[in-house]
Structure 1
Amino acid sequence: MVQIYKAPKGKKQGAVGATKLTLSIDELEHGGLGVCRSHQPVVFVEGGLPGEQLDVRISEKKSRYWQGIAVKVLSPSAQRIAPFCPHSRECGGCQNQHISQVDLLAHKQNAVGQLLQRQTGITSLNWQSPILGPAQGYRRKARLAIDAQKKAEVKVGFRAKGSDQVVSISQCPILTEPLQAVLPPLLHLIKQLRGTKQLGHISVLDADNQLQLCLRITRALPAEDIARLRQFAEDNTLRLLLETAPNRFELVCGDNQDACYSPVPELSLSVGPNDFIQVNQSVNQAMVNQALAWLAAVPGERVLDLFCGVGNFSLPLARAGASVIGVEGVEAMVKRASDNASANGMQVDFRCLDLSDFDALSRLPTEVDRVLLDPARAGAQALMPILHKLKPKGILYVSCNPATFARDAAMLVEKGWQIDKIGLMDMFPQTAHTELMAHLSRPQ
């Protein structure tokens, strides 16, 4: 998989960054990078669209490919649009605001299809309609970076493209409306604090039951800063937490009730400040409903939910009548998942196992009817032989990295499994992220 280039800290690009070429873009890869195949080695270009001719600055040279950034569009594509965010040229958050959500998804689907063909040999896929939500105002959780090296020029925002430098922002249109409303006064407040150098980062969350603000601090803040933060939280009806050490939190304002969200309307799951949560509420709910439909577990069937987190899929499956075994490698999240099951009046067998450890994999259940897995970007290569031996009726694979999904799926296809259906999920519109869901079965 092609990785988005990030310049090493303090290292100048030198001659590589000075290399400029005029290139024509043939297609997009699954992360939205333009691909020029007429140049050897192939060049992947950030900001390029198929059919365009561009002036490109080369940012990285590898033996098999080069990477570049479009600096001037000489002949624009009909699909090129104006970015809606004023920070899009500098901010590294949204890489693909120069093309519409629907057009980008079509290119991504084509790229994923080509990738799977190369890896598995499958030439025809049963593509389902993609899951997509609003292109703006969708992100309910975000982390803001802080650069307070210069007291007179405190920067609060997101990391720049290809860099760890902080880009100051004045707005962020992809945040939910409540977060957009609180962002400007929050940015103003942070820059007025005396102890800005003691702030590591800021997390904001628009949960179902509260707006939550969590500040990571490296040293105790001055008392006057705490007072100003508390007053700000009260004025804006925020729950305010300070993370004083990794996963150690101090409540400054608000009650002790954790943030909650609903994977389906009938359930409410609590999450801690550092727990993983899908940031796109509408897409997550559609994803969970689609997973239930595609997996098609009937009441009483044993379903193994791997990388289960706090129960995003496990609890909806259990509510539908399945007997669920949820497996997660983080002990705190396993406890959170168990608490969520109890709070919703359910019994789910949650277990803590490191799914990257061979000995732990040997302790997985040996008799299950269906399997759902939602691994991190590294995928689940070590699990594929085990899933094959389990012989479930179906495997539902939710992936946030098409490259590792293609690698893992190829191992199953080689053993006789087939991809029944597949579809993209636009969890992060305008970005390089491509998420998909696929159902695999083995003919009896």
Structure 2
Amino acid sequence: MRNSRRSPKKANLPAPFELTIDRYSHDGRGIGIHQGRVVMVSNAMPGEQVQVKLEQANTKLWQGKAVKHFTQSDRRQQPTCQYYGECGGCVLQHVPVSDQVALKQSALEDHLRRNKVPHDALAEPISIEKVAYRHRARFQVSKKGEVGFFNVKGNRIVPISQCAVVVPAINDALIIVKREAPLEGVKQLELVIDDTDQLGISVVEGSGASKSALAQWGEQQGWVSQAPLQYRSAGAQTWAKPGSFTQVNRRVNTAMIEQAKAWLDLDVSDRVLDLFCGNGNVSLPFAKNVEAILGLEANQEAIDMAMNSEQANQQTRYCVANLFTSPLKDIPEIAQFNPTAVILDPPRAGAEAVVKNMNTLPTVQKILYISCDPATLARDIAELIHDKWHLRKVGVMDMFPHTRHIESMALLEKKKK
């Protein structure tokens, strides 16, 4: 019998309504209550009276945007970017940076509380640049050849002429790319500038032909596409090819590493195990001050870049290992290393499998955890404090001003018996 079931029609959303905003959500949207339901509203601040146009709704939570402000917060500021409200990137430009940082601190503390993690006051936040802080950016390319970023909903590309949060050299390069570059078959490209002012370009997503064509065109401009770019990270030299991961905010990256050094307070007797090490960005600056470093990372290219650093030596090893699938005790490089300190810098998913096996490394006395998601950070810390560890310090690093992204750092020490 032919299946006669039909997909349910999308429910009609309620008409726009007036709402008083009471507080912020974790991601910087305003929150109010309407007819007993929680309503999360973009471009809305506590104390404001707004008209809300709903975009999503279920029985418990409504989500929408403020289309009219009847009253405005005296904390509201004028967005500096002409694409604010369309581009899905810097959605918090209407909020002062000091308030953005406070909001991110509050979100971190809330995740710690929810995971029952006892902690003292947060460390002083790292917050430096407010605009023109990104040394690399990934641009979407439409079928028409328009270059820009996804909109707030992520379903359309907003063409742009410049971006307020990238360094001027990237904006200058973007003008040339839009005017001259062969973009047929390109879906996403990256522009990057290193610490020697060398520009790089790569196709992140696109056809094989488009990658070759854009690389050849870039070389003609004096840019690089395959050669490694050079970076200085708190006194150490690191390398990364265009399209590879690097921390986009170079000044905050340096401040992050200097804080890591101060918090860990290591000496020449320490042996550092750097898990999810990438290209050695965090651990290489320790090379001259500790006995040995062992870095593990699943990406072979990143490992190659780490080993090419001028800081790499006989006491510094970087090896390929998948830390999501390989228990620490089964990784041969770790077996005889006897680390005294661990650096964790995992992706957004966190390091759950690693922290559950931390007790297989009995010589470790300190853990420095760098996180890009406070939810998984709090979850992993909760696991550690139930297993011989004490949270000593934790704080926010504002790596991405004007966005909802939250970077943080935590220091844990083994409990004394």
Once residues 346 and 27 of structure 1 are traced to their aligned partners in structure 2, the CA distance between those partners, rounded to angstroms, is 54
- 1:199 corresponds, among 174, 186, 203, to 186
Conserved in 2, the CA contact under 8 Å of 1:318 and 1:346? no
Please state whether the residue corresponding to 1:74 is helix, strand or coil.
strand
Write out aligned runs for 1:289-368 (5 A).
289-340=258-309, 345=313, 347-359=315-327, 362-363=330-331, 365=334, 367-368=338-339
Structure 1 equivalent of residue 376 of structure 2: 404
Structure that is richer in helix per residue? 1
Deviation at 1:160, TM superposition (A): 0.7
Structure 1 equivalent of residue 160 of structure 2: 169
Structure 1 equivalent of residue 123 of structure 2: 128
- 1:42 corresponds, among 38, 57, 63, to 38
Write out aligned runs for 1:83-94 (5 A).
83-94=79-90
- With over 3 angstroms needed to count, the CA separation of the structure-2 counterparts of 1:43 and 1:404, relative to structure 1, is farther
Write out aligned runs for 1:236-315 (5 A).
238-241=222-225, 257-264=227-234, 266-315=235-284
- 1:382 corresponds, among 353, 365, 369, to 353
Deviation at 1:58, TM superposition (A): 2.6
- With over 3 angstroms needed to count, the CA separation of the structure-2 counterparts of 1:354 and 1:174, relative to structure 1, is same
What are the superposed Cα offsets for residues 179-230 of structure 1, whole Å, 9 maximum, x if unpaired? 123322332224xx5xx33223221001012111224551536999998766
Once residues 388 and 55 of structure 1 are traced to their aligned partners in structure 2, the CA distance between those partners, rounded to angstroms, is 54
Give the TM-score taking structure 2 as reference length: 0.88
Once residues 42 and 301 of structure 1 are traced to their aligned partners in structure 2, the CA distance between those partners, rounded to angstroms, is 51
Conserved in 2, the CA contact under 8 Å of 1:126 and 1:420? no
Which amino acid is 2:207 matched to? T
Once residues 111 and 388 of structure 2 are traced to their aligned partners in structure 1, the CA distance between those partners, rounded to angstroms, is 19
Once residues 225 and 113 of structure 1 are traced to their aligned partners in structure 2, the CA distance between those partners, rounded to angstroms, is 45
- With over 3 angstroms needed to count, the CA separation of the structure-2 counterparts of 1:43 and 1:411, relative to structure 1, is farther
Give the TM-score taking structure 1 as reference length: 0.83
Once residues 12 and 219 of structure 2 are traced to their aligned partners in structure 1, the CA distance between those partners, rounded to angstroms, is 49
**Structure 2 gaps, min length 5:** 1-8
Once residues 115 and 38 of structure 1 are traced to their aligned partners in structure 2, the CA distance between those partners, rounded to angstroms, is 26
Conserved in 1, the CA contact under 8 Å of 2:368 and 2:410? yes
Once residues 224 and 333 of structure 1 are traced to their aligned partners in structure 2, the CA distance between those partners, rounded to angstroms, is 25
Structure 2 equivalent of residue 252 of structure 1: none
Structure 2 equivalent of residue 369 of structure 1: 340
Once residues 371 and 19 of structure 1 are traced to their aligned partners in structure 2, the CA distance between those partners, rounded to angstroms, is 54
Once residues 300 and 362 of structure 1 are traced to their aligned partners in structure 2, the CA distance between those partners, rounded to angstroms, is 25
Please state whether the residue corresponding to 2:263 is helix, strand or coil.
helix
Please state whether the residue corresponding to 1:379 is helix, strand or coil.
coil
- With over 3 angstroms needed to count, the CA separation of the structure-2 counterparts of 1:40 and 1:407, relative to structure 1, is farther
Deviation at 1:157, TM superposition (A): 0.6
| Structure 1 vs Structure 2 CA RMSD | 2.8
Conserved in 2, the CA contact under 8 Å of 1:388 and 1:412? no
Conserved in 2, the CA contact under 8 Å of 1:198 and 1:221? yes
Structure 2 equivalent of residue 414 of structure 1: 386
Once residues 288 and 332 of structure 1 are traced to their aligned partners in structure 2, the CA distance between those partners, rounded to angstroms, is 22
